[in-house]
Amino acid sequence: MKIFISADIEGVAGVVAPPQGLAGNPEYERARRLMTAEVSAAVAGAFDGGASGVLVNDSHGPMTNLIAEELDPRAELILGRPKAMGMFAGLDGGFDGAFCTGYHAGAGQHGVLSHTVNGFAFSAIRVNGVDCAEATLYGAYAGSLGVPVILLTGDDRMAAQCAPHFPRARIAVVKHALGQRAARAVSPEQARARIRAEAERAVRDIGGAAPFTLPGPYRLEIDMSTVALADLAATIPVAERVGPRGVAFAADTMPAVIGWVNTLSAMSASLR
């Protein structure tokens, strides 16, 4: 049984402020160790539940956050960017289930460090009218491959937003949002124990999980954070301008949807 893990940082217990996700300061160094330990707990739980292999994809920012020598050595690890399919790089239809660790609520939602893919560029992302957190967006991509998301870890607001799309997934809530940059969290030790236990249950009960799918064809609508960013996005010939800050794209597949999101995210760097 093969398990895929997409690892983010904002939903990790003890992480509440933007500098903790940005390299070059002591708080980031602490946060990436907390992140690595939570992912290791998920890996251990997957093997406890009967997994035969685990692939971890570093999914935050530069995607070089996980500390390889501190990760459970039974897992394989994908680091770096750019890479096809971004946060779910490496996933294919040969996996039996996917975990989303350290995840958070989507753009415009209450939740710790809430955003979707790029907090600078995007105010909202909708696919066929569904407001997407990152778990929703990438979970639908996994579903298009026939792979169910079976574990989500992060804050209570992520759980509230994403649980309806993944009703059979196990959820490890490790902190409760008090604001966009404040939370009440369990200790790192308790967070890891909770994640390991839920990961084991997720794998043992995997037979009851069903993939989350959004039927195509797809209409991707993105509310950019500024009019200037929408101006930039609208220079793409196939883009449809749908408002001062809004653009839309037609896509036949979920990989194409993910591709447009990641393209606009990369383009936005020119206006920072």
Structural contact between residues 212 and 148, judged by C-beta atoms closer than 8 angstroms: yes
What distance, in Å, lies between the first and last C-alpha atoms of the chain?
43
Q: Two tokens at 229?
A: 């960013």
Residue type, 163: A
Check 60, 104, 110, 115 and give the catalytic one. Answer: 115
d(CA 211, CA 168): 10
Cβ burial, residue 115 (10 Å; 0-12/13-18/19+)? buried
d(CA 230, CA 101): 31
Q: Is 110 a catalytic residue?
A: no
Structural contact between residues 168 and 5, judged by C-beta atoms closer than 8 angstroms: no
- Relative to beta strand 170-179, strand 182-185 is antiparallel
Residues with catalytic roles? 115
